[in-house]
Structure 1
Amino acid sequence: MNLEDVFVTEGVPQFTFVRPPNFSQLLVDVRRAGMPVIVEGQSGTGKTTTVKQVLLEIYPDNVPKLLSPREPQDLPLIDEINISSGPNIFIIDDFHRLNDTSKRRIADLAKVIAERDDRSNLPKLVIIGINNVGSDLIQLVPDVAKRIGIHRIAPGTRDSITQLINAGCDHLNITISPIEEIVNESRGDYWLTQQICRTVCLSVGVDRTQENKRDITWNSSLVNQLVVEKLHHNYDPAVKEFCRGRRFRPTNDPYYKLLRAVSEQESSNVDLNELANSRPEIKGSINNVKDHRLKVLLEQKEMCSRLFYYDPETKGFAIEDPALFYYLRNLDWDSLRQRCGFRNAEEDYEFDIAISFAGENRDFANFLVDSLKNLDISVFYDRHYEDNYLGGPWSKYFQEIFAQRSRLVVALLDQYHKEKLWPTFERDCFALRIPNGEVIPVFLDDTLFPGIPMDLVSIKYQFNGNLEEEKNSIMQNVVLRIVSKLDSI
């Protein structure tokens, strides 16, 4: 036998297919006329492969075609499915990739079919999608739940992954050791197991069944590198998109640091609070994004949201695709950093900007904060962090934030800033940073400040007090100049 027919990475494995425990239940529901069926599970669990095997056993002479939103030519065919489509079977793969309108239409159709007593002349729907596609569809049409078959394909167990490897080895007349390392690396992903085993064989020149029994000891570093190269085109665009954030800046690398730290964990499900506390050298970067920025990134970048999950309430970050986690664990992160265009820097900041102002200018400050956040810039703004510091002294936190934990300080300077107690304290905190160019003074009037030279390059903006009238002017003359400074660091 040829290697590619044994360890299969495209199509249905003939010799190394491992039936999931609920295979028979799924087969019965797919065979049942008209009953809509949903097959869900995380990437790599073999959902599509299992459905194909079920179809092969039910329709050995005429296996129905799978339709997928990934294929442009399939979209019109999916749109044409309706109650009058006759007793044909329609398998919709990657259901989660359909637009909301198409999802609801298919969900409504499933409901109509499920409610009929006589379904002999109605279309049969089999829907395949990632985790929770069944519950998501039920949310679209709540009363359909009891009338459809929902089957979750779970990741492979250690026994089933071992069974797959041993079956392939038997057909190729080889043994692979250590087999346990492949089991651990695959994390229950059948496709990844097939890919690693295939790469192991190729790395030692085995491309077909051996005449004499052959024992293979594999070089994990070499094999991991080869598999990562194979996975590169699948994951690199989304990984780079994630690492570069919503708006690229050469110093805007907290997403990169977070993802690299996650890749170094034993589990692909991570509590970001715990991760930040366990990694003091990048604690600032993790805190920089975990409260707001990470949620917005995944909301705005669909490419990233398909691969990464984040719950801003629990601070739980998850990579559900074992092949992606394998890719990240074995990735050359220094090379990725260069390809992202980040500068090398030892400093780690919790905030890009800390804003110092007097209470009389809060509306102005609030507009700056919102504008900078919309440009994916993290800002320390007292109102947003009061709950974090309840029970502690502001003086201690302000000292740390304005002196150390922010990349730059933006100070809204006027007579109020000079006269008020807290703004004066903040100036004392960031005074030593002024000669280093780490403070951006925004003069709102002509008040003189000891320690801030008049010839210091600064922003001068005469605010008339009407924020609505001046928003465009503030954006052009203040916000974008601050952003330009960040870009140049």
Structure 2
Amino acid sequence: MGQDSSEHRWDFFVSYAHADTSWAEWIAWTLEEAGYQVLLQTWDFAPGTNWLHSIQEGITRADRMLVILSSSYAASVFGQAEWMAAWSADPRGFARRVLPIRVDDSPPPDRFMPIFSLGIFGLDEVAAREKLLSGVSAVLRGGAEPPTAPQFPASISVRPVLSERAKPDVEPSFPGVDLVRDAANRLEDVFRPVGVPTVTFVAPEEYIPFRLALRQHGLCIVLEGPSGIGKTTLLKCAIDQDSQRLEKVETYSARIPGDVERIRRLPAEGHVGLLVIDDFHRLPEDLQGRIVDYLKRLADDAGSPGKLVIVGIPDTAATLVSISFDIANRIRVFRLGRAGEKQVLELVEKGEAALNISFDRRQEIVQAAAGSLITAQSLCSHLVMIAGVEESRLTPTVVQAEIPTARANVTKELRDKYGSAVNTFAAMDDLDKATCIDLLLALGQTEDGILALDDVQNRSSDLMPTIEKIFVTSSSPGLDPDGSIARHFFYDSRGRRIIADDPQLIFFLRQLRRDELLSMAGKRLPVPREHVFICYSHVDTDWHDRLLVQLTSLKRDGILDIWSDKRIEIGDDWREEINAALSRARFAVLLVSGDFIASEFIRKVELPALLAAAKSDGCRIIPILVRASTYKEMPELERFQHVNPGGKTLASLSTEEAEQVLANVARSILKFAKRRMK
């Protein structure tokens, strides 16, 4: 029989996302078996019930609200509506009446951060039941009752219609580790370098507002951001989650010739439903203008059956406004920036949870991803493959993160995809020039895959004509015989920018070295010596840091680049980085100490290369005696004049005297560098 909502009260109202129904049912069953009375939507709300009023009534007539916290709940519009209703009803007592129960290790929404939460994820069923019941009991014993009685909800005319309870006759299955073992996650479904991730999808802050904007009739949307930032993933997940509320959905890409023709017919033929135009920046300029006019017509026609979503690179909205200034108040713009460390870490941790693994160098993976979720997917996928893990493990497994090996594997795969385009691009200029190679390297170091030519034009007077021939003039097919450049690189003539809107291409470019690109393009240019190389033992790091301070002006004024092993990033091949820096050293500053001389790497790798360069290529060796050593007993070093007054080590001098020695070194290098520049 149904229950009379006007008389009945509950101990708990359960708020949860649809994806966590199994958790909600297991928790409700466990609490009712312990004697509590629980209101659960899937058991107690009859079909046809006014959902919003039923939720408000349940919150009002329950002593406490259990929130099943998970990544799904954080992204749920309805979950947000429920806890906001609870907060609105009693803002001051919100923390006292709400008990969050965490069922995965995703961070709770900001509203719940200061509230005590009960975590039952990662436990077996017996431990989870014990922790749930003991935690609930403790909260009830220590909880504070509201200072005044809740207001009688007489003004609410609609009550939850409680039919015969749909509570099952048998206890629900525990939705924890047992289910993971029954349905193992496969590696290719967890970390996905290509395609839209599901298991490791990370919702950006804009996710809920974006979903609401998609559902708003007549509102045209612009979604812009760098490559690899998750625009396509955000759009796909939002559409999938709201598929029942959205009308017909189609996507046209400016990369596909057939789609471009369909886009060209839009202003005349119109469309019905939600239409996504991806890679808008790749459309011809005349067609961009026509689409802007069409967008204005849609926005101004309240009865229009069509809605547009424009997806593109950063400044896409600004491009629309430059075409027609009055478009600004007709669009809603969502801008995605590069992923923060917190987002990348969430992606990694979701994958770990799905595969029942943990990376031993998780934070290094986050840093190596450099703000790209796609790069994080690729690195994690290869790291897990290297460890021999194909699906979720029955027991927790630690995966050793061989980051250099993973990066090398990814680079090797991408070489087949992008090698031809990069080789052709690198060879566009003359054999005795490396302008295009420098452009590729500069493009690879951008955060958003966009290189403004106005910023680099002074590198070569014939830069712009070459670029115009490649990307604008169709009468020069010989420069791009297989069309590979145009497939992977895009030239924005309006903004004078080279764009690589493929995140994997950016990752590939970041792994390439200048000498490697020269070899790939068949060029043999002399390697310029443009570095000050600091050779030191890590025991003397403090002296290294003080020297860097004195040398800062050289780098700031663009006279010389300062290099030490502190520039090696996590995941880099450190030996290759050091060898490349040694080959470019014009000045070598040696911080000599007993530890310096005792270092096998310095003695066998760095010193021989520097001494050979001093003999043949004019590299200038500058020893600084920082602490006591057998420097004078090493003829290969002793022949180079040190800078210490009276042969006194820096450690034996006062702080100011030592700083003066380092400042004199900086002045000496500056003097010789300027002399060679004349």
Q: What TM-score results when the alignment is normalised by the length of structure 1?
A: 0.59
- 1:147 aligns to what? 330
Q: Which residue among 243, 252, 257 is the counterpart of 2:426?
A: 243
Does the CA contact (< 8 Å) of 1:290 and 1:312 recur in 2? Answer: no
CA distance in 2, matches of 1:59, 1:319: 32
Deviation per residue, 1:341-382 (Å, 9 max, x gap): 11253579xxxxxxxxxxxxxxxxxxxxxxxxxxxxxxxxxx
Does the CA contact (< 8 Å) of 2:224 and 2:314 recur in 1? Answer: yes
Q: Which residues of 2 match residues 438-453 of structure 1 at below 5 A? A: none
| Partner SS state of residue 65, structure 1 | strand
- 1:208 aligns to what? 391
CA distance in 1, matches of 2:321, 2:495: 24
- 1:290 aligns to what? 459
What is the Cα deviation at residue 77 of structure 1? 2.5
Deviation per residue, 1:16-51 (Å, 9 max, x gap): 111111112211221111221110001011111101
- 2:539 aligns to what? none
Q: Which residue among 296, 321, 330 is the counterpart of 1:138?
A: 321
Q: Which residues of 2 match residues 339-418 of structure 1 at below 5 A? A: 339-346=520-527
Does the CA contact (< 8 Å) of 1:295 and 1:312 recur in 2? Answer: no
The structure showing larger relative contact order (alpha-carbon pairs under 8 Å, at least 6 residues apart) is 1
- 1:9 aligns to what? 193
Q: Which runs of 5+ in 1 are unaligned?
A: 275-285, 349-489
Worse-matched range after superposition: 252-261 or 204-213: 252-261
Does the CA contact (< 8 Å) of 1:83 and 1:113 recur in 2? Answer: no
Cα separation, partners in 2 of 1:254 and 1:212, compared to 1, 3 Å: same
- 2:308 aligns to what? 125
- 1:79 aligns to what? 264
| Partner SS state of residue 33, structure 1 | coil
What is the Cα deviation at residue 100 of structure 1? 1.4
Deviation per residue, 1:206-264 (Å, 9 max, x gap): 1211122111112222111111123324543443344223x4x3222243256558868
Q: Which residue among 216, 227, 235 is the counterpart of 1:43?
A: 227
CA distance in 1, matches of 2:495, 2:296: 34
Q: Which residues of 2 match residues 218-297 of structure 1 at below 5 A? A: 218-245=401-428, 247=429, 249-257=430-438, 259-260=440-441, 290=459, 292-297=461-466
CA distance in 1, matches of 2:513, 2:384: 23
Q: Which runs of 5+ in 2 are unaligned?
A: 1-184, 472-484, 530-678
- 2:585 aligns to what? none
Q: For residue 328 of structure 1, what is the amino acid of its counterpart?
A: L
Considering only CA atoms, is the larger Rg found in Structure 1 or Structure 2? 2
Worse-matched range after superposition: 51-60 or 290-299: 290-299
Cα separation, partners in 2 of 1:265 and 1:130, compared to 1, 3 Å: closer
Worse-matched range after superposition: 300-309 or 233-242: 300-309
Does the CA contact (< 8 Å) of 1:228 and 1:330 recur in 2? Answer: yes
1:31 matches 2:215? yes
- 2:672 aligns to what? none
Q: Which residue among 93, 96, 106 is the counterpart of 2:281?
A: 96
Number of positions where the alignment pairs a residue of Structure 1 with one of Structure 2? 331
Cα separation, partners in 2 of 1:67 and 1:175, compared to 1, 3 Å: same
Q: For residue 512 of structure 2, what is the amino acid of its counterpart?
A: L
Cα separation, partners in 2 of 1:35 and 1:180, compared to 1, 3 Å: same
Q: Which residue among 240, 243, 250 is the counterpart of 1:65?
A: 250
CA distance in 2, matches of 1:80, 1:106: 10
Q: For residue 96 of structure 1, what is the amino acid of its counterpart?
A: H
Cα separation, partners in 2 of 1:184 and 1:300, compared to 1, 3 Å: farther
Q: For residue 176 of structure 1, what is the amino acid of its counterpart?
A: F
Q: What TM-score results when the alignment is normalised by the length of structure 2?
A: 0.44
| Partner SS state of residue 150, structure 1 | strand
Does the CA contact (< 8 Å) of 1:291 and 1:312 recur in 2? Answer: no
Q: Percent identity?
A: 27
CA distance in 2, matches of 1:241, 1:219: 32
Does the CA contact (< 8 Å) of 1:95 and 1:128 recur in 2? Answer: yes
- 1:390 aligns to what? none
CA distance in 1, matches of 2:264, 2:202: 34
CA distance in 2, matches of 1:148, 1:38: 7
What is the Cα deviation at residue 132 of structure 1? 0.9
Cα separation, partners in 2 of 1:241 and 1:197, compared to 1, 3 Å: same
CA distance in 1, matches of 2:210, 2:389: 36
Q: Which residue among 207, 219, 237 is the counterpart of 1:53?
A: 237
Cα separation, partners in 2 of 1:126 and 1:346, compared to 1, 3 Å: closer
Cα separation, partners in 2 of 1:273 and 1:32, compared to 1, 3 Å: closer
| Partner SS state of residue 82, structure 1 | helix
CA distance in 2, matches of 1:327, 1:53: 27
Q: Which residue among 503, 512, 531 is the counterpart of 1:331?
A: 512
Q: For residue 293 of structure 1, what is the amino acid of its counterpart?
A: D
